[in-house]
Structure 1
Amino acid sequence: MTSSVTVSREPTAEAVRGRLPVSTTLRFALLVTLIVITGLFWLDNLATHWSQAAVKKDAYCKVASGLLLPDADDGSATAAYRRCMGPVEPPDRTWTLLGVLAVLALALAIYALLPTWKRIRRRLVTLDVPDDPPLRSPGTATLEEELGELRRTAGLAGHRVRFVLDPYNVRSSAVVFGRFGRCTVSLNSGLVSRRQAQPEVFRGVVLHELNHVVNRDVGLTYATIALWRAFLAAVLLPVTVVGFHPYLGTGSFSDSLAYWRANLSYTIPSVALSGVIAAIVYLVRADILRTREFHADALPERWGADVAPSLTPGHRRGWIWRSHPSDGDRLRALAEPSLLFRTNAVPFFTTGVLAVAAPSRMPMFFYTGPRQTVVAWTVTTLAVGLVVIMIWRSVRHAVGHGQPPPKGFKEGLWLGSGLIAGELVIGRDIGNSVLPQRPWLLLLLLAGALPLCVWTAQTALVLPRRRAAFVLALVTVVTAFGTWLVHWGTWGHMVLASSRMAVIPLLWEVPAADGSWVRLPPELVFWLPLADRVRDDPVAVVGATLLWLVPAAAMLWRSVRGRPRGSVPRRPLLLAAVGGAAGTLWAAWVHIVVHGAQPPPASWDELGLATFYGWLTAALVVPAALVAATAAAVRPFPGLIDGLVAGGGALLGGLAGVWALAALDGCVTPLAVWGDTCTPIWGGSWLVLGSVSRPVLSFGVFVVAAVAAWAACGREVLSVLIAPRRRVRGRIVPAPRAAGLPSGKAPPIVLAAMALTTCVLSGYVLADAVDDSEQISSIDSSNGTELRTRAWLEAGGNELLLGFEERAQAYAKHLTPLVGQAMANGAPEDADLGDIINAYPEEVPTVKRNCSALERQARTAKRFIPIPDERAQSLWQDIVSRTERGAALCVRGSGRSSHVLTEGTDLLLSTGEMHSHLDARLLEIQGRREG
């Protein structure tokens, strides 16, 4: 940027009133959410780390389940690991919640004490500025009188703003700080020394700081600083220490180094997740502090001052991680005031990462059953709401200032990049590799993010400027696109890994008539299950309905209120009619194909019905998507509105055609499906319409919206590539950039590079430690069975074995005196044990209690992971099954049936020899490894 920058200062309505709305509140809400969620996750891991039993069990279970083996199957190994960890008593997560509250309390304390600390550390001198300074000619007023005049110019009361002098700072600048509505402007001695020689610089700098007070961003600024410092001290610092030294409190640092060397492949996802989230929190903090500076530069025209003389063009580059913008960026924002309200990459990218990473990395008390859905919807609503509000405000301000509004394309790409980055960071379907097995399916996130932003931008442009319109748009986006994000977070992400598809067979197969599962035809398998899931979600149905009804209502409202009154755009309606007719013709073709197929519909199973209705759905959705794409591509911005109206109308027209074909089924022989007679079947036609309309009006509308948005994006790209670039004096004039963005760099590329660098250089690994580092560090595929067997014993196998033996010995020890006493009383030598036990009623409760304990022990062992050695596992399985059956018979026969009690007791006593064989096998395995 050269020094010949022309700064145009056109007053806006907000400037005339004396205050510009600062768009930092939403960013601050994003920062608080990130810190709370990150604190919950990391503090929960720290609580688990310092739970000794859980730490040891975690490490041994990872080895015993084979999770650390290079060739481990991700799905089965993870399931075995969870089974192994099941019996562990989880840490009390009340401390996690208290820890997050403590972080917030620390932030509040820092916020309250920071101004006092600044005064003491910098030795600031208070200036006695009068509330009502006398009027003097320029150059004759004292420093205090001129400051009082500037404060009066800004419209601020004396009790709200005080002035101090920093005598030891020679820079020509100032800073404002404060708390709870009371602010202090600190003037550096270098600035005061330039007051007489350069009065315009002095006035511009002081009024810039006073404008911070007018904009009410001082409290938010220092709340941001306090939150960040509390996060560093109470969360990031202990997490980093534990990451570098996972054996802290349980072993030496050499043990930690051994763990690092052995498990780098497993801990990479944790390193990536922690590093990127920490970087994102910092980026949001820097974005808040940087944004406020641009708004403070926009001084009201009536103040009669300008900050431009105090700025030096090209002084430094304004990278996105700086908390203060460069002078070049500030001059560019002054020259183009609309840039103050334009969107930039940081909040959209970070919101995307938050929307994906937060629900999947919440503590386990939020991650089971309905709680998982509640957390997913909470985070998704916040993320989608932030996106809507940022785009909506940007569009409204651009329209109010007579500037071209944002179109949503760049915002969608930023948001989609954040969603993809978040999915790669958490690595839930990646395992030990860099990318998932189907990385191209990550584009589904981008495919959904772009329509979200484009729909919001274009709807904000056509809807009336009323609060009810904004609330309606917000509800539409949350229900429509929020459903998409929640579905992706709960089950949709599984498509990234082929090995995970085994756990969701309903996505691929349907029940046949004989009770077996049959695979859908290849033409339907990739979209029909998704359509069925969306169809069955009431929130998705509501969102899809609003998704095209709201733009249609906006178009109708504008046509009624426009000039000439009553003019309705014809192109969308004409395309809707064409799409409806094409859908009806395709549905008729489906009827023709089915008419000649065997068997007849009366004998169709679930597969036949799914295939028929699936093809009818495709017959209506595909033409509607084509006409929507055509309407969006033909009309300039906002073409998505036309596309949605045309696509929605085509879907309704196609549904009308399907209903007519079903109602008049049999009247045209080649089209007959349900009968051969030409008798209107009104009831059946409504059943067919109901079966087709649900996926069409939910899944179909989503497809139409996505295709129309991408068609509009394609048109925009082509117009940029084809249109001649504007030149001034032979020099290409670049398009204005949003304030705060780095010059000449694509923000998503910079953010991705930062994420990658952070992943590589970060020292954080929240690794769960194990006392025996030699076992962990030496694991490989050659001696995996021996190591896994020993880990199985340490993870809980020893406890189960000893529990069985001790309880069996206690049971036998209790029976021995009973048998001796019975023999002394004349009982025959071949008497059943059941008869002997039941002969002593006072002993029955004790026997029953011992057998119940053995039954519970057997059930616990049954849920535990198997022994990695086949021979040992066979013996162990036999012991568990005999103990479980024998204990159950013992409980049932105690005091009731001597025969049943005898059978159960015999089974329990027969496990003693099997225990000896199992112990010998386990000793053999350990001896083989030691030898």
Structure 2
Amino acid sequence: MKLSVAWRSATGTGPRFVLLLVLVTLSGVLLFNITLALVTPDGMQFALRQHDCDYATGFDPTASDREHALHLLRNHDLLKQCAGERPWPRTGIVATAVMLAVAGAVYWYQPKFNALRRASVPVEAADADGSLATELELLRTRAGLSPELTFRVDPARMTSGARVHGRTGSYRVHLHAGLLVLRGTDPGGFRAVVLHELAHVRHRDVDYASATTALWRVFVLTALIPYFAYFGYIFFLFTRHPDDPWLHGVPSAIGFVLVGLLLAGLVHLARADLLRRREFHADLRAVAWGADPAGWRRPDPAGGGLPWWHRFTKLLRTHPSWEERGKVLADAGRLDRLVPVEMFLTGTAASLLYGAVAPVEAMVLGSTGLWFSDVLVALAVCCALGVQTTRVLSRTDGKAESGLLPGAWLGLGLLVAQVAGSTRHRLDLVPLSPQYLLVFLLVATVPMVWWSQALKLLAGLPRPWRRVGFAVCASVAAATLYSGLRWWRLGGEIITLGFGDHAGALSKAYTSTIHGDWRPFAADLAALDAGMSVLSPLHALPAVRVTAILLWLVPLVLLLLQQAQARPGIRRTLTAGLAGGLASWVVVAAVRYVMAARRPAGVHERTGAYLTISMWWLAVAVIAVCVVAGVLVAAFSRRFWMVRALVTAQVVQLLAYGGVFFSFAADGCLGPVNSVLDTCRWNTHNGATVALGIVRLTLSNAVLAAACAAVLGAGGAWLVRLWRAHPGTAPAPQPPPPPSSTTPARRRRAALKAAAVLALCVPAVLLALVAQPRPNTGAYGRAFTQELAGSDRSSGDQRAPAQEAPGASPGAGGREPRPEPSPEDPAVQRLQMRAWLRNGGHTRVQGFDNAVTLLYREIHKRRVQGKGKEKLTIDEDDFHGLCGDLGKQTVRVQDYLPVPDRELQRAWSAALSRVMAGVQDCQDAFYPPKGAPRRTMAERGQDFADSLHEIVAGVDDVTAAFRRIAIEAGAELANR
């Protein structure tokens, strides 16, 4: 009982305040790192690292967004290596900690500041007969507040209002002088005002308002204003130096400014919206304590501005109008509605939170925590909207919202912040394919709708099971939101920048590793490239696979546990799934028939390119039938359309897998739809191999695609009903529950429910376990890496199994990419060379020089000792160790970033290879490798002398190449 009362009394705005505080705090780390770069060496290293690593790998600021993104993909490992050369700066974290300390001090001493600013007097000074103090004490007792709260009178304020200030443990209610006059003429109005202020204390509104005000003011003064001043100085330098190559980064700088402006506007709007909502809750609490609602019936001051301007300024005010307050008191359910502005602001804050937490994540967790930011954003959204959304969506009075519009507004907030925030990593203000940004609407709407329908199903469970079901459903909704955000980070951003197949790397990898004639399948290969870029980001993530299974399994269990009179057509849902499954067999047969007409004559040729394309279109067919099933079920369902669409799609999906398995296991016996074989025989291995290859790619994607399709289907059906002027009506009243049946009948129904769950759950779980995507370590993975890197090497005659190609996922790693083409602008070339030297090139060459110096010194020493002697004694261990040290330093230089110029890189690489060859000969001369032919001491001595000559010649080549690099970087760096 206590939990339910606390739940009903919660305003739901506390988590949103916390989200703002976290957003401001984490944003401070990035802002301080940028603004302090000019005054601290640590910060300057951070600023240089952000740009120099790009330039050191050959980045050209005059390139397009597509080329920039491709550059990042090609040089992902090298950029990570460059960024890891030095520890991340802690300047931003330290400065943010200082900012929090200052904000904490402002919050703590704020009551004293207010006391000094306001000339207030104790209540006793304005209470001649003591009745005022007695009445205030009674009101404080009614509110259940501690005696630490004090009342004071502000004699300079003649309005009939009051204000409460302070912090935890020190609250002061300042009564205006006009309110004391109102006490004599309208005692009820006086009590209403005082109880309203006491409700603020009870709801801890004062703490939230004081904390956010203190943190925001300190943040603006210490971080935001210097941040804008920094970029103002940048733009001023751009106007003074129009020929500077850094001028190409103006759009990126504008993106930083947009993020700052959006952050400032967002925090102000969100804080004003939260404070207005707290005012409504304080009014309701005051009325619940006995205040007269007539005290809120006051006229609003007439406004002389335009109506649209008045509506806009209303969003900036922290106090609502008297008219709005009266409406809320008349209908308290208005506060339970999900207002579009609130959803939009929450989505924007969450999207900005990702950009704010990314630098902190990289500093603290490194590459092992790339998922942390998406998890944090998903949890932040769920927590910020948790109380209010749950209260709204769980209503059973027929007024509950479907979650479509709130989810769309939440997604719109994510979209807007993404458009502004992503410019920090791009060159253009608008991406090449901005239409893909609309995916955020589905990313937010799908979990919102699913959550709303799951809550309604939870209401039909026995009370002891509701808490467990609530926790499970909340976790699934959060995981669904995380899956959508994860897809965007792994693939959506790349597609939005203008390409999805990584500049043809996928198609080139297929054609180089899978045998067969690809020319007849050029159009199919283009479709495969585009489709794989959309489907591959999520299919190999275990968390997404578990989420995809729970998306339909949890609703199925909840549907079966509903009472018989309230169960929303579960039989019709399963029947629709079976019908869709039969249709999927027809579609599979149609795809096989079309591809059979295109199969090559030779059996061997049918197992390469032809089979790969056949598997791709079968995977598309599986997803397509699931999507169509989701659209139709959602369009023709009035209740629980999302969960019914997911259950139907899962039934269709499993039956479609069976059709694929059967068609390939019986290949050769199917006449005009035979694919590879011409001899009729049953082959379980072929059917399982092909089916599992398709399952790997579609098991998660089909469910998620069906969920998105259900949203589109339901939205389209709603528009059609609206156009035909026949809006959906409330569901008809259900008949009374039938009399309780006998125990055997109940047992039979329970057995049927368990059988239905197991019949769907067991195959799905087994497929998820058996069809785990394999790591991309084969020939296809190597070929993809080489094509992505622009390698000129061929992939040889290695072949990857054709059945794994559609389900393969591009993996990182592999070889270093070749240098980017040299820029036309000499200033950009100079920037690249300087960045190459500054980020480790000069340090590595110094280590190489030290090893060469030690070797030369030992050679000179032996030469001096051997003067006048017929035979020179050489310590094998000394030279073996010196050659080994030189070899380690040479490998260290070779492992560094390629020189950002192809011609210089060829000379640089050849010189280092020559040194390395001499080092290897030097070590082999003293300690020959196992299995090498025996050589005399004279022959080994000659080998040692030849190796030294090779090392010296290689060092001369390295010196010449480095001198050219240094000259390209600037004359001041030419001295080595």
| TM-score, normalised via structure 2 length | 0.74
Query: What corresponds to 1:733 in structure 2?
Result: none
Query: What's the CA shift string for 1:701-757, capped at 9, x where partnerless?
Result: 1111111111212233444555499xxxxxxxxxxxxxxxxxxxxxxxxxxxxxxxx
CA gap 1:380/1:507 in 2 versus in 1, 3 angstroms: farther
Query: What corresponds to 1:496 in structure 2?
Result: 496
CA gap 1:376/1:630 in 2 versus in 1, 3 angstroms: closer
Match 2:541 to one of 537, 549, 552: 537
Please give the alpha-carbon distance, in whole angstroms, between the structure 2 residues aligned to 1:506 and 1:386. Answer: 40
Query: What corresponds to 1:487 in structure 2?
Result: 487
Query: What corresponds to 1:370 in structure 2?
Result: 368
Bigger Cα displacement from structure 2, 594-603 vs 27-36: 594-603
SS where residue 323 of structure 1 aligns? coil
Query: What's the CA shift string for 1:796-843, capped at 9, x where partnerless?
Result: 66666666566545543442242132122234xxxxxxxx5xx243x9
Query: What corresponds to 1:816 in structure 2?
Result: 860
Q: Does 1:188 align with 2:176?
A: yes
Query: What corresponds to 1:120 in structure 2?
Result: 116
Q: Is the 8 A contact 1:352 1:383 kept in 2?
A: yes
Please give the alpha-carbon distance, in whole angstroms, between the structure 2 residues aligned to 1:217 and 1:237. Answer: 28
Cα distance, 1:293 vs structure 2? 1.2
CA gap 1:894/1:688 in 2 versus in 1, 3 angstroms: closer
CA gap 1:104/1:157 in 2 versus in 1, 3 angstroms: same
Q: Does 1:427 align with 2:442?
A: no
Equivalences for 1:407-806 in 2 at 5 Å?
407-427=402-422, 431-464=426-459, 466-498=466-498, 501-502=501-502, 505=505, 510=510, 521-528=525-532, 530-531=534-535, 534-560=538-564, 562=566, 568=569, 571-593=572-594, 597-598=599-600, 604-605=606-607, 607-636=609-638, 638-655=640-657, 657-658=659-660, 669-670=671-672, 690-693=692-695, 695-720=697-722, 723=725, 781=825, 784-785=828-829, 789=833
Please give the alpha-carbon distance, in whole angstroms, between the structure 2 residues aligned to 1:806 and 1:611. Answer: 56
Bigger Cα displacement from structure 2, 203-212 vs 13-22: 13-22
Cα distance, 1:22 vs structure 2? 0.8
Q: Does 1:145 align with 2:134?
A: yes
Query: What corresponds to 1:51 in structure 2?
Result: 41
Q: Is the 8 A contact 1:63 1:787 kept in 2?
A: yes
CA gap 1:41/1:189 in 2 versus in 1, 3 angstroms: same
Query: What corresponds to 1:300 in structure 2?
Result: 287
Please give the alpha-carbon distance, in whole angstroms, between the structure 2 residues aligned to 1:529 and 1:392. Answer: 36
Query: What corresponds to 1:743 in structure 2?
Result: none
Query: What corresponds to 1:222 in structure 2?
Result: 210
Cα distance, 1:438 vs structure 2? 2.0
Query: What corresponds to 1:284 in structure 2?
Result: 270
CA gap 1:601/1:911 in 2 versus in 1, 3 angstroms: closer
Identical columns (%): 23
Letter in 2 for 1:497: L
Structure 2 runs not aligned, ≥5 long: 304-309, 461-465, 728-822, 929-939
Q: Is the 8 A contact 2:354 2:373 kept in 1?
A: no
Q: Is the 8 A contact 1:507 1:530 kept in 2?
A: no
CA gap 1:474/1:901 in 2 versus in 1, 3 angstroms: farther
Q: Is the 8 A contact 1:451 1:706 kept in 2?
A: yes
Query: What's the CA shift string for 1:219-238, capped at 9, x where partnerless?
Result: 33323333323433554355
CA gap 1:666/1:216 in 2 versus in 1, 3 angstroms: same
Query: What's the CA shift string for 1:49-89, capped at 9, x where partnerless?
Result: 62267256766666666646424741466567965982885
Query: What's the CA shift string for 1:436-456, capped at 9, x where partnerless?
Result: 222222222223322222222
Cα distance, 1:335 vs structure 2? 3.8
Q: Is the 8 A contact 1:289 1:324 kept in 2?
A: yes
Cα distance, 1:292 vs structure 2? 1.0
Q: Does 1:74 align with 2:117?
A: no
Please give the alpha-carbon distance, in whole angstroms, between the structure 2 residues aligned to 1:869 and 1:671. Answer: 54
CA gap 1:600/1:352 in 2 versus in 1, 3 angstroms: farther
Query: What corresponds to 1:108 in structure 2?
Result: 104
SS where residue 174 of structure 2 aligns? strand
Match 1:90 to one of 86, 91, 97: 86
Cα distance, 1:303 vs structure 2? 0.5
Identify which of structures 1 and 2 has the higher relative contact order when contacts are C-alpha pairs closer than 8 Å and 6+ apart: 1
Cα distance, 1:42 vs structure 2? 3.3
Q: Is the 8 A contact 1:620 1:696 kept in 2?
A: yes
Please give the alpha-carbon distance, in whole angstroms, between the structure 1 residues aligned to 2:508 and 2:382. Answer: 30
SS where residue 427 of structure 1 aligns? helix
Query: What's the CA shift string for 1:763-803, capped at 9, x where partnerless?
Result: xxxxxxxxxxxxxxxx9836544565566566666666666
Structure 1 runs not aligned, ≥5 long: 1-12, 134-138, 726-778, 828-835
Q: Is the 8 A contact 1:286 1:321 kept in 2?
A: yes
Match 1:885 to one of 917, 931, 951: 917
Q: Does 1:156 align with 2:129?
A: no
Q: Is the 8 A contact 1:127 1:163 kept in 2?
A: yes
Letter in 1 for 2:714: A
Please give the alpha-carbon distance, in whole angstroms, between the structure 2 residues aligned to 1:507 and 1:370. Answer: 30
Match 2:19 to one of 17, 21, 30: 30
Please give the alpha-carbon distance, in whole angstroms, between the structure 2 residues aligned to 1:692 and 1:151. Answer: 68
| TM-score, normalised via structure 1 length | 0.77
SS where residue 502 of structure 2 aligns? helix
SS where residue 438 of structure 2 aligns? helix
CA gap 1:477/1:813 in 2 versus in 1, 3 angstroms: same
Please give the alpha-carbon distance, in whole angstroms, between the structure 1 residues aligned to 2:7 and 2:568. Answer: 41
Query: What's the CA shift string for 1:456-493, capped at 9, x where partnerless?
Result: 22322333272223212112223333223223213442
SS where residue 195 of structure 1 aligns? helix
Query: What's the CA shift string for 1:87-120, capped at 9, x where partnerless?
Result: 8853454555454444444443333222233223
Please give the alpha-carbon distance, in whole angstroms, between the structure 1 residues aligned to 2:6 and 2:359. Answer: 45
Query: What corresponds to 2:392 in structure 1?
Result: 394
Query: What's the CA shift string for 1:663-698, capped at 9, x where partnerless?
Result: 776665445568778877677666666555555542
Q: Is the 8 A contact 2:619 2:694 kept in 1?
A: yes
SS where residue 471 of structure 2 aligns? helix
Letter in 2 for 1:907: E
CA gap 1:609/1:157 in 2 versus in 1, 3 angstroms: same
Bigger Cα displacement from structure 2, 809-818 vs 239-248: 239-248
SS where residue 173 of structure 2 aligns? strand
SS where residue 303 of structure 1 aligns? coil
Count of matched residue pairs: 837
Q: Is the 8 A contact 1:580 1:651 kept in 2?
A: yes
Cα distance, 1:411 vs structure 2? 1.7
Bigger Cα displacement from structure 2, 889-898 vs 482-491: 889-898
Please give the alpha-carbon distance, in whole angstroms, between the structure 2 residues aligned to 1:268 and 1:531. Answer: 33
Q: Is the 8 A contact 2:661 2:691 kept in 1?
A: yes
Cα distance, 1:906 vs structure 2? 1.3
Letter in 2 for 1:858: T
Letter in 2 for 1:24: T
Query: What's the CA shift string for 1:197-251, capped at 9, x where partnerless?
Result: 3444333221211122333433333233333234335543554454445799xx9
Q: Is the 8 A contact 2:61 2:248 kept in 1?
A: no
